[in-house]
Amino acid sequence: MITKLKFDPVDAWQPYSPSVNQPWTIRLAAHLLRRAGFGGTQAQLIQAEQTGFAATIERLFDVNSAQAYNQEMEISGRLVTTSADAKSLAAWWLLRMAKTPCPLQEKMTLFWHGHFATGAEKVNDSRAMLRQNALLREHCLSPFQPMVTALSRDVAMLIYLDSTENRKTRPNENYARELMELFCLGPGNYSETDIKEIARCFTGWEVRRNQFVFNRHQHDPGQKSFLGVHGNFDGDQAIDAILQQPAAARFIAKKLIRFFVFDDEPISDELAEPIAVELRESAFDIALAMKRILSSKIFFSDLSVGKKIKSPVELAIGALRFFDVSVNLQQLGDRLQRLGQLPLYPPNVKGWDGGRSWINASTILARANLFHEIFNNSSNTYAAGSLADWVASQPSDPQYAANWINDFLLAEPLSTAAATELQQQFRRSPALAISCLAAVPQFQLN
């Protein structure tokens, strides 16, 4: 049962607590796992329901559970970049999303990748892209400031923003502008003078032979004045000062809410403020803010459940995880690019718009075709077997049998008749049933 929540900014971020009115159900567990990751298998969803809400949240944030997996993937990522291009690296990341034991970590990495958008096509150096990807993952659930500091030295980022040279005689304003507009404050919270002054702080920050170097001869050590502070700041100190701005925490809070809670509802300053306060008071600890968001009443309310549209990556990876499908990920990457979202290839410096932009007349058809191609490709395997084997191996708990498509797979339920028909079709021809499911509007919702 989804609670109808009155729009109340104070109450919105109060912790959700399972109750008689809103018990912890399989559908809420599915909602949490979809948003905090890419959805789960039937067994994972049932486990989430049975172990309870608090234990599920704890498990989501246990990044140590992925330590061994991450080490393996780092080795394979390096091998991929040794012998192949960034498209293969994108396929490697898709694989990582599909198989990770800590989906929140990959989801957060994807979120920050959209936030600090960097395109592999322009960077043209898959090793630099891999290093940035590792950096985002390392910091994804940690304090924000070290992440910004590290990204300000990141080779891929500096190449992408044309900031590989920054001399004191001609400060390069690109990075300073994006730092405030896209990464930390948002438009309207800084002036052109601030940009010019902050650009001086970053003079001498250069890329040489694909490495970040600080060229002290080109650094402007003079006094700078911006955002109400004065001093002979360098880049790191400029970042400190930017993040001290009240707008910074609010800006990050809104981005998190838009990505994890809902797309289209207007996010007022009042609604974002409790999360912004959480960030300010915890030195921008992202894990704390995320825990607050994912445990909140509003997150489990009808303002959030089913109120987002699945991005192409969420759509595809969700299916790969639920059906345990093994597919050619390089080909999947090509399909996702046609749907508008291939990781490492954002459309521009602002990243993906998300929300309703994912759906138009051509992508809705292409989304259904993607599923048709995946589930009618005889070389794909499902938990290392056939689709029929996979169907046969699924738990047949009568508690879930009657309405499993609605419970496990859909944020907005189908009518009982439609769901029953689809479940029957699933028994006759699973591939056809999945293709049909992929075409229904409810399946596009997250």
Partner 1 sequence: MFQFQNRHGFDSVIFGCGLVLSIALTSSCPFVAAKQAELPSASPEAFAAEFFPATTSVYLCVGQATQLIEKIEQHPLVAAIGELPQFKKLITSPQFVMATLATALVEAQTNESILNSLKSSLALGLAIGIDPETEGLAIILRSNDEAKLKRLVGTILKVVASGAEQEGRPVPFKKGTYRELVTAEFGDTVIARYQNWFIVSNKRALAKKIGDNLIDGSKNSLATQTWFKAVVQAQSTADVWVAVDLASVREKGLAPDLFRGRTNNPGAELVLGGLLDAFKHAPWLSGQLNFDRQLDLALELPFNPQWADSARQFFYGANLQGTAPQPLLPQRLVANLVSYRDVADWWLSKEDLFEENVIAQLAQADSQLSTIFSGMDFGEDVLGALQPGIQIVVTEKAFADKYVPDIRLPAFALVGKLKESDQIRRKMKIAFQSLIGFANITLGMEGQPQLDLETENIGDAKISAAQYVYDDKTEAGLLLFNFSPTMAFQGPYMILSSDRELAIELAKLVGELRPGDVVKPTTADRPSEPAAVNTHLDFDSLVLSRILKYNRDGMVSQNMLEKGHGRKEAEAEVDLIFGIVDLIQNGQLDFQVNPTDMKLAVQLRFVNHPLKSSR
Q: Quote the least distance from Cβ 355 to partner 1, whole Å.
A: 28
CA 442 centroid distance within chain: 21
Considering the complex, state which of residue 86 and residue 305 has its C-beta at the smaller distance from partner 1. 86
Nearer to partner 1, 364 or 391 (CB): 391
Least CB distance from residue 391 to partner 1, whole Å?
13
d(CA 57, CA 369): 34
Q: Which is nearer to partner 1, 328 or 362 (CB)?
A: 328
Residue placing its CB nearer to partner 1 in the complex, 369 or 381 = 381
CB closer to partner 1 out of 131 and 338: 131
Q: Of 149 and 381, which CB lies nearer to partner 1 in the complex structure?
A: 381
CB of 315 to partner 1, least distance (A): 16
Note whether 378 and 386 are within 8 A (CB): no
330 touches 88 (CB < 8 A): yes
Among residues 105, 110, 107, 37, which one has the least CA distance to residue 342? 110
Nearest to 107 by CA among 203, 21, 18, 33: 33
Beta bridge partner(s), residue 213: 206
Q: At what angle do helices 126-139 and 144-151 cross, to 10 degrees?
A: 170
Amino acid at 302: D
Judge whether 161 and 178 are in contact, CB under 8 Å.
Answer: yes
**CA-to-CA separations, 214 to 127, 145, 174, 272, 305, in angstroms, rounded:** 21, 19, 17, 37, 47
Question: Looking at beta carbons only, is 19 or 83 nearer to partner 1?
Answer: 83
In angstroms, give the least distance from the CB of 65 to partner 1: 16
- The least distance separating partner 1 from the CB of residue 331, rounded to whole angstroms, comes to 9
Shortest reach from residue 120's CB to partner 1, in Å: 15
- Residue 445's DSSP bridge partners are 309
Select 85 or 302, whichever has its Cβ closest to partner 1: 85
- Nearer to partner 1 among residue 149 and residue 386 (C-beta): 386
Nearer to partner 1, 247 or 316 (CB): 316
C-alpha–C-alpha distance, residues 317 and 39, integer Å:
8
Binding residues for partner 1 (CB under 8 A): 72, 75-76, 78-80, 82-83, 88, 91-92, 95, 98-99, 127, 208-211, 320, 325-330, 332, 380-381, 384, 386, 388
Q: How far is the CB of 319 from partner 1 (least distance, A)?
A: 12
Shortest distance, position 386 Cβ to partner 1, whole Å: 8
**CA atoms of 317 and 66, how far apart (whole Å):** 18
Phi/psi at 363 (5° precision) = -75, -30
- Smallest distance, Å, CB 157 to partner 1? 17
CA distances 383 to 167, 203, 276, 284, 436, Å, are 55, 53, 42, 40, 22
Minimum CB–partner distance for residue 330 and partner 1 (Å): 6
Residue among 95 and 422 whose Cβ is closer to partner 1: 95
Task: Give the shortest CB-397-to-partner 1 separation in angstroms.
Answer: 25
